[in-house]
């Protein structure tokens, strides 16, 4: 029964989130499996972008305080809408900057080397941009990254063990930066446990939530996480270059921002144009420059959908549809050189599946030729992301049948086994 299209169609009929599929622009004869890199455009995101364009057209400069979505308060409004997705209060979340800019802001603010505590703890599997930013921050302080940036090693090249991270929390560590979900394997780190261990040792800890926000529930404030940052163009469907998200626990309110800018001002003081910054009393203090309004606007519509669908429901379907994909792979592709490189357990698995194959780059190109949009990560990973809001079980079934055909007919052999400029 599992192997039939009829079974997949029955799952679609029972799917409580199926109605949201029509909210998104999907292409005929194409199956989009790359929502963990760039989410699809929704009709609501398009609407709120056009509304903000109209505010510009109708109000000009007065769009900052008038119109459908006044720009001056847009980052705070979006922070309020996003707060339930990260388990925080509205005052602790702001939509501003980008992933890497926000990381620079947070490290500049919270990395305070003193005495023996001079090192930053990260991991060897994290996204490269985070490492570049940490190396840069150490260089600025006059520290050699080869000595002062500690990267926890993976035992197998796929996963991290929390025990290894905790063991690395020595009295030399001043700051910890970790991913919530590993971008290759999709492993969820135990944020609650790691934060508790860091807190016991008096070490500040922050998380990169790029691959988890919008895919899994979080409880940042309850767990006592010091800060977090993320992008909004993956699971949150905010559009290419969408403005990033930033969380700071309220216990740090009043900390002067490491990178100060006028949009970190207390709102009623900002246009006094004084040369002494009066920071916002909330997370807003960690904004730097004028927000990119037209890259903020789509999130207004995108987040409406999350409010209606509910992150718990999204997670429940994500787990079910990804398990269905893994079951199909096991049944249909087990003798074709594929292995599953993501955690099998629900509690450790994020929103995408990582298929490993020595011909991964070529297979991804063949998938595209067959109307499936996957994602390649060097050296041998095909990432497939059935997104709860717009991917159907029938599409997952079709993807596996297409993969089976590609392998059986050796369609991948006509392609070079190397990535495109953008993988």
Tokens 């995408």 locate to 352
Evaluate whether 287 touches 261 at the Cβ level (below 8 Å). Answer: yes
Query: What is the spatial distance between Cα 325 and Cα 320, in angstroms, rounded to a whole number?
Result: 9
**Residues flagged as binding site:** 99-100, 127-130, 208, 211, 233, 262, 290
User: Among 402, 245, 270, 242, which residue's Cα sits nearest to residue 336?
Assistant: 402
Query: What is the spatial distance between Cα 414 and Cα 365, in angstroms, rounded to a whole number?
Result: 10
Query: What is the spatial distance between Cα 243 and Cα 121, in angstroms, rounded to a whole number?
Result: 26
**Residues flagged as binding site for pyridoxal 5'-phosphate:** 99-100, 127-130, 208, 211, 233, 262, 290
User: Among 53, 71, 11, which residue's Cα sits nearest to residue 317?
Assistant: 11
């Amino acid at each position: 029964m599992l192997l039939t299209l009829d079974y997949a169609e029955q799952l679609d009929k029972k799917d409580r989130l199926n109605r949201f599929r029509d909210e998104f622009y999907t292409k005929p004869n194409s199956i989009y499996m790359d929502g963990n890199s760039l989410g699809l455009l929704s009709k609501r995101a398009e609407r709120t972008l056009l509304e903000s364009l109209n505010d510009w057209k109708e109000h000009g400069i007065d769009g900052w305080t008038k119109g459908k979505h006044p720009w001056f308060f847009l980052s705070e409004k979006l922070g309020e809408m996003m707060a339930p997705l990260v388990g925080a209060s509205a005052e602790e979340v702001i939509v501003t900057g980008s992933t890497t800019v926000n990381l620079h802001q947070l490290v500049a603010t919270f990395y305070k080397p003193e005495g023996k505590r001079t090192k930053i703890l990260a991991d060897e599997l994290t996204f490269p941009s985070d490492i570049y930013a940490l190396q840069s921050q150490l260089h600025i302080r006059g520290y050699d990254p080869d000595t002062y940036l500690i990267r926890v090693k993976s035992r197998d090249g796929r996963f991290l063990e929390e025990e290894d991270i905790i063991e690395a929390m020595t009295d030399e560590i001043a700051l910890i930066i970790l991913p919530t979900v590993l971008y290759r394997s999709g492993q969820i780190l135990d944020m609650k446990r790691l934060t508790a261990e860091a807190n016991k040792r008096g070490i500040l800890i922050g998380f990169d939530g790029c691959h988890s926000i919008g895919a899994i529930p979080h409880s940042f404030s309850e767990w006592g996480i010091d800060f977090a940052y993320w992008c909004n163009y993956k699971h949150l469907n905010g559009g290419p270059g969408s403005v990033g998200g930033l969380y700071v626990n309220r216990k740090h309110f009043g900390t002067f921002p490491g990178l100060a800018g006028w949009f970190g001002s207390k709102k009623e003081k900002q246009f006094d144009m004084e040369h002494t910054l009066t920071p916002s009393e909330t997370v807003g203090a960690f904004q730097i420059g004028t927000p990119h309004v037209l890259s903020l606007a789509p999130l207004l519509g995108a987040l409406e959908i999350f409010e209606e669908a509910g992150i718990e429901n999204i997670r429940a379907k994500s787990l079910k549809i990804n398990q269905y994909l893994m079951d199909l792979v096991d049944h249909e592709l087990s003798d074709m050189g594929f292995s599953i490189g993501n955690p099998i357990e629900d509690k450790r698995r994020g929103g995408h599946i990582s298929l490993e194959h020595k011909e991964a780059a070529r297979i991804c190109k063949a998938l595209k030729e067959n109307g499936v949009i996957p994602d390649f990560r060097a050296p041998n990973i095909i990432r497939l992301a059935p997104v709860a809001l717009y991917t159907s079980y029938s599409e997952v079934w079709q993807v596996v049948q297409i993969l089976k055909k590609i392998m059986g007919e050796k369609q991948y052999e006509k392609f070079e086994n190397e990535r495109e400029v953008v993988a």
